[in-house]
Amino acid sequence: MARQAHKVAAPVIPDLAVPEAAREFAFSDADFRNLVQLAREHAGIALSDSKRNLVYTRVSRRLRALGFTAFRQYRDYLAKNSGELESFINAISTNLTKFFRESHHFDHFRSHVVQPFLNGSLRSDGRLRVWSAGCSTGEEPYTIAAVLRHEMPSTSRHDIRILATDIDTDVLAKGARGVYPVSGFDNVPRIYRDYFEPTGERDDSLMAKESIRSLIAFRRLNLMDPWPFRGKFDAIFCRNVMIYFDNPTKTALIDRFIQSIKPGGFLYIGHSESFHGTHAELQLVGRTTYRRKA
């Protein structure tokens, strides 16, 4: 996969300005360039010059936790402790998400994947497989699970699985826990709220019920690495993830997604994302919705 230096397509990560004089830690150009290089090398994340303050702000918490006073010390530590790379990537990744984000995708998924699967018109091997690639804290895979479960309350006859992956181990732990503040449910239509229940611990949180939880497997996966599965998916959701990659990385990733989608299956991408390069096997069939030709 191509990972050379390329210009970032669009400034997509909000930058938080920390004036240089107000900085708690010494942070040089060389520090910034070194961290940008590591983010690209290990996560495919492309950070333009305008992300200097973002890098400073996000990585500062690692320096604080480790008791360093300068980024130079942190770079040395990173170089000698490969385990820190995980915390660095966790700190640098942008995890913004919500339930039923871009809800038109879930309408399409229900009518073009789930219902055809149930009425037998979907060419299928009796299994329904969905991948939430870059699932962040889990709102996306739980949304998929709630839509699925609502259409098929009894699972006994159906072999359904949702794979939810992310590079960031902190967000994956939150997803696996499946507990969210009540305020996050504003977007969730009433019919789907029943799949969440009070935790019993804090009255301002709701927890995913077993009926949807059991459909999802959370796993760490760096999309830049080889993928440890061979089976193909009926639908892949990779939304608001590729905005952080440069065009060659994105193009190569989409080619890999195509190989992982069953013919006739769907790829859902984020609202601000578009395809550069040609992907002849994909057909645009709706708003940021693509179908692999059968």
Residue positions annotated with a catalytic role: 58, 166
Query: In the set 58, 62, 149, 239, which binds ligand SAM (CB under 6 A)?
Result: 239
Pick the stretch among 48-56, 114-122, 162-170, 174-182 that binds ligand SAM (CB under 6 A). 162-170
- CA triple 258-237-94, angle to 5 deg: 115
CB of 32 to ligand SAM, least distance (A): 19
Q: Which amino acid is at 210?
A: E
The window from 48-56, 89-97, 152-160, 186-194 that contacts ligand SAM (CB under 6 A) reads 89-97
Using CB under 6 A as the binding rule, whether residue 168 contacts ligand SAM is answered as yes
Q: How large is the greatest C-alpha to C-alpha distance in the chain, in angstroms?
A: 65
What DSSP designation does 80 have? H
Sign of torsion, CA 233 239 244 245? positive
- Closest distance to ligand SAM from the beta carbon of 243 (Å): 8
Phi, psi of 68 (to 5 degrees): -90, 160
Query: What would the x/- binding string for ligand SAM be over residues 219 to 238, using CB under 6 A?
Result: ---xxx--------------
Phi and psi at 10, nearest 5°, equal: -150, 145
Out of 8, 9, 38, 45, point to the residue binding ligand SAM (CB under 6 A). Answer: 45
Q: How many CB atoms lie within 10 A of CB 241?
A: 25
Site of interaction with ligand SAM (CB under 6 A): 43-45, 93-97, 101, 134-136, 140, 166-168, 171, 222-224, 239-241, 244, 270
